[in-house]
């Protein structure tokens, strides 16, 4: 379980960059509610137990629409990453480089989440590096960010 050391109120997003937000149809509402209380949730199919993320209305394995949510430890490993040098939004014009990671979560069926990798954007990063969640609290939403754990 993530400790309160894993909380930041410092925004990784520059002014002018819209924050991610829940979808209006409510499909991902449990994910965002979990994040608000610093609990990382992914979907788990109730009949067959398959984990999935991002949220879907049906299970991608058995096609049941009886989908629940499961708690993840917030620890994972880097499956892939990208050091972004070219801004994809005008608010990022002078913010590069920055790191984007695809994080694999072994305790919830190895589902993967895309997120920002915090810290020095020029840090050495390797596939398989251990990471943990960092909660970025904003007024209306809490974002899921990631940081590398020290190599043992």
Contact segment (CB under 5 A) with Zn ion among 28-36, 38-46, 83-91, 140-148 equals 38-46
Among residues 21, 23, 48, 126, the one that binds Zn ion under rule CB under 5 A: 48
Among residues 41, 45, 105, 133, the one that binds Zn ion under rule CB under 5 A: 45
Contacts 24+ apart (CB under 8 A), 13-16: 13/91, 13/143, 14/91, 14/92, 14/95, 15/91, 16/90, 16/91
Among residues 62, 126, 127, 130, the one that binds Zn ion under rule CB under 5 A: 62
58 scored as a contact of Zn ion (CB under 5 A): no
- The arrangement of strands across the sheet holding 51-52 comes to 51-52, 40-45, 67-72
1 scored as a contact of Zn ion (CB under 5 A): no
Contact segment (CB under 5 A) with Zn ion among 57-65, 71-79, 95-103, 116-124 equals 57-65
Q: Alpha helix (H) ranges present in the chain?
A: 29-36
Q: Which of 58, 86, 77 is nearest to 127 (CA)?
A: 77
Nearer to Zn ion, 63 or 138 (CB): 63
Q: Is 44 exposed, middle or buried (0-12, 13-18, 19+ CB in 10 A)?
A: buried
Q: How far is the CB of 99 from Zn ion (least distance, A)?
A: 33
Contact segment (CB under 5 A) with Zn ion among 19-27, 45-53, 99-107, 122-130 equals 45-53
Q: How far is the CB of 57 from Zn ion (least distance, A)?
A: 12
């Amino acid at each position: 379980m993530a400790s309160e050391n894993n909380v930041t109120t410092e925004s990784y997003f520059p002014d002018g960059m819209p924050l991610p937000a829940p979808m209006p149809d409510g499909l991902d509402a449990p994910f965002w509610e979990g994040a608000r209380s610093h609990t990382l949730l992914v979907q788990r199919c109730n009949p067959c137990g398959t984990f999935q993320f991002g949220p879907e209305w049906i299970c991608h394995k058995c096609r049941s629409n009886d989908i629940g949510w499961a708690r993840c430890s917030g620890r994972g490993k880097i499956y892939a990453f990208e050091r972004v040098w070219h801004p994809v939004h005008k608010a990022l014009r002078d913010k590069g480089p920055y790191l984007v990671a695809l994080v694999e979560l072994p305790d919830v069926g190895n589902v993967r989440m895309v997120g920002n990798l915090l810290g020095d954007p020029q840090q050495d990063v390797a596939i398989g590096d251990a990471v943990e969640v960092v909660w970025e609290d904003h007024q209306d939403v809490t974002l899921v960010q990631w940081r590398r754990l020290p190599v043992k």
